[in-house]
């Protein structure tokens, strides 16, 4: 790993960071740099550049065609993987700015965090995991790393986006979360923002789509807490849902900031490395954490396992499995670029990566074309 050249310009991101960031933030000047060292940019710091590289990747653009929880057949109101990603980024940056952490790094990691999701959300992930069970399995967090280190290519003559060590380490942490002990504060912020965003927004989308009725939320501690703060019952029903959702967001964000600030008060003058090694954990108060857990269990039972979603899931899993079977046994139907991957990774992982990169609609179209109509694909989405 070579160090990024951080010498040079004055009055730039370096001065801004040194004036604004806390000691325990990950300062760009301390970055371990990129695998292929690159000259410093005249006015953007290394994490700003990473953010832009992620936004300009084709995998990022395809997030707009990937479902978060609800599918395109259910209308156009609800979140896609792309709008969820922006909502996570927005919440995470608010936390980062308030706690004086590195907002550019947080933004880059937030925009990257779901880039590896296959079509059809978690059911697509389960179907690919099953197809690839004897070939390394499938994890969207790991696939995000493969996308930005092997598949996307833009900035050097080598594969990958040549992102900084810290952005890649943040995504690696998401992959190894169960076993990882040390972590930067910035990645903890992205993780928390992800969870706050999907809990609140899944309530919003499920109410709007009629998968949940308002009364079903009665008795949930976090919802009851929101009702004590704002007069939800007295408000115009049209506004009630949005008021509930932003109160749920405010409640969780406020609690996370208060509780985490107390933790950070003990870290005065510590560096980013020191707080990671000391396993400092940002988070909510135990009470709100418990109430959030109750909401998540409720969503799991009443939304994610809803009959309307189960039908979508079964259909999507069947389509992915059949496409996988067909393409691994007929590699000549794959785009040339994917056939190239199979020389290094084997046909199974190459087909897995091809399928994982698809949007929901492209996957449906390919299923129709290749499986139902029996035609060659000939389309290269890269
Ligand atoms: Mg997410």
pLDDT tens digits, residue range 114-143? Answer: 999 999 988 899 999 999 999 999 999 999
The Å distance, Cα 92 to ligand 1 centre, comes to: 12
* pLDDT score for 374: 76
Provide the pLDDT confidence category of residue 300 given band limits of 50, 70 and 90: very high
How far apart are the C-alpha atoms of 234 and 236, rounded to whole Å? 7
CATH architecture of 14-372: Orthogonal Bundle (1.10)
More confident residue, 158 or 62: 62
Tokens representing residue 15 in the block = 């001065």
* pLDDT score for 236: 85
Quick one: average pLDDT of 336-340?
92
The Å distance, Cα 179 to ligand 1 centre, comes to: 20
In terms of phi and psi (left: phi > 0; alpha: psi -120 to 50; beta: otherwise), the region of 149 is alpha
Indicate if the pLDDT at residue 4 is higher than 50.
Answer: no
Provide the pLDDT confidence category of residue 382 given band limits of 50, 70 and 90: very low
Quick one: average pLDDT of 203-215?
89
pLDDT tens digits, residue range 149-201? Answer: 999 987 777 889 999 999 999 999 888 776 666 689 999 999 999 999 999 99
How far apart are the C-alpha atoms of 313 and 76, rounded to whole Å? 19
* pLDDT score for 338: 93
Tokens representing residue 150 in the block = 């092997």
Provide the pLDDT confidence category of residue 334 given band limits of 50, 70 and 90: very high
* pLDDT score for 76: 66
Q: What residues does 80 pair with on adjacent strands?
A: 67
The Å distance, Cα 378 to ligand 1 centre, comes to: 32
* pLDDT score for 13: 87
Tokens representing residue 71 in the block = 């599918």
* pLDDT score for 309: 79
Residue with tokens 């896609």: 80
The Å distance, Cα 331 to ligand 1 centre, comes to: 32
The Å distance, Cα 47 to ligand 1 centre, comes to: 20
Query: Radius of gyration over alpha carbons of the chain, in Å?
Result: 22
Indicate if the pLDDT at residue 353 is higher than 90.
Answer: yes
* pLDDT score for 237: 77
How far apart are the C-alpha atoms of 191 and 145, rounded to whole Å? 16
Provide the pLDDT confidence category of residue 70 given band limits of 50, 70 and 90: low
The Å distance, Cα 177 to ligand 1 centre, comes to: 14
The Å distance, Cα 199 to ligand 1 centre, comes to: 10
More confident residue, 320 or 182: 320
How far apart are the C-alpha atoms of 48 and 258, rounded to whole Å? 28
More confident residue, 284 or 375: 284
| pTM of this prediction exceeds 0.85 | yes
The Å distance, Cα 139 to ligand 1 centre, comes to: 13
Quick one: average pLDDT of 275-300?
95
Whole-angstrom CA distances from 175 to 113, 178, 273, 352, 363 are 10, 8, 20, 18, 25
Length, in residues, of the chain: 382
Provide the pLDDT confidence category of residue 6 given band limits of 50, 70 and 90: very low
Report domain extents, the chain.
14-372
The Å distance, Cα 113 to ligand 1 centre, comes to: 6
How far apart are the C-alpha atoms of 108 and 72, rounded to whole Å? 27
Indicate if the pLDDT at residue 1 is higher than 60.
Answer: no
The Å distance, Cα 372 to ligand 1 centre, comes to: 33
The Å distance, Cα 54 to ligand 1 centre, comes to: 15
Residue 173 near residue 161 (C-beta atoms within 8 A): no
Indicate if the pLDDT at residue 381 is higher than 50.
Answer: no
């Amino acid at each position: 790993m070579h160090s990024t050249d951080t010498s040079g310009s004055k009055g730039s991101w370096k001065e801004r960071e040194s004036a604004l960031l806390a000691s325990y933030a990950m300062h760009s000047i301390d970055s371990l740099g990129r695998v292929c060292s690159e000259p410093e940019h005249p006015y953007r710091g290394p994490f700003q550049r990473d953010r832009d590289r992620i936004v300009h990747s084709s995998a990022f653009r395809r997030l707009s065609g990937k479902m978060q929880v609800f599918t395109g057949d259910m209308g156009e109101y609800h979140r896609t993987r792309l709008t969820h990603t922006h909502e996570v980024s927005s919440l995470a940056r608010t936390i980062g700015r308030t706690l004086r952490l590195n907002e550019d790094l947080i933004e880059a990691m937030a925009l990257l965090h779901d880039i590896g999701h296959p079509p059809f959300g978690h059911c697509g992930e389960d179907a690919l995991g099953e197809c690839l069970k004897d070939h390394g399995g499938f994890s969207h967090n790991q696939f995000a790393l493969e996308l930005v280190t092997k598949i996307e290519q833009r900035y050097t003559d080598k594969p990958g986006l040549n992102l900084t060590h810290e952005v890649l380490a943040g995504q690696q942490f998401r992959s190894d979360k169960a076993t990882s002990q040390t972590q930067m504060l910035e990645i903890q912020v992205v993780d928390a923002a992800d969870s706050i965003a999907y809990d609140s927004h899944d309530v919003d989308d499920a109410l709007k789509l009629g998968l949940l009725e308002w009364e079903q939320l009665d008795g949930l501690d976090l919802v009851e807490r929101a009702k004590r703060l704002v007069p939800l019952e007295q408000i115009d029903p049209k506004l009630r849902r949005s008021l509930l959702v932003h109160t749920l967001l405010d409640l969780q964000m406020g609690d996370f900031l208060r509780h985490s600030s107390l933790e950070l008060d003990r870290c005065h003058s510590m560096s980013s490395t020191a707080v990671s090694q000391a396993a400092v954990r940002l988070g909510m108060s135990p009470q709100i954490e418990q109430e959030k857990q109750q909401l998540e269990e409720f969503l799991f039972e009443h939304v994610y396992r809803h009959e309307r979603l189960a039908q979508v899931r079964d259909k999507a899993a069947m389509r992915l499995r059949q496409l996988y079977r067909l393409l691994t046994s007929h590699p000549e139907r794959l785009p040339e670029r994917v056939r190239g991957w199979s020389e290094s990774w084997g046909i199974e992982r190459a087909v897995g990566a091809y399928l994982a990169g698809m949007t929901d609609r492209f996957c449906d179209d390919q299923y129709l074309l290749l499986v139902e109509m029996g035609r060659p694909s000939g389309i290269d989405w890269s």
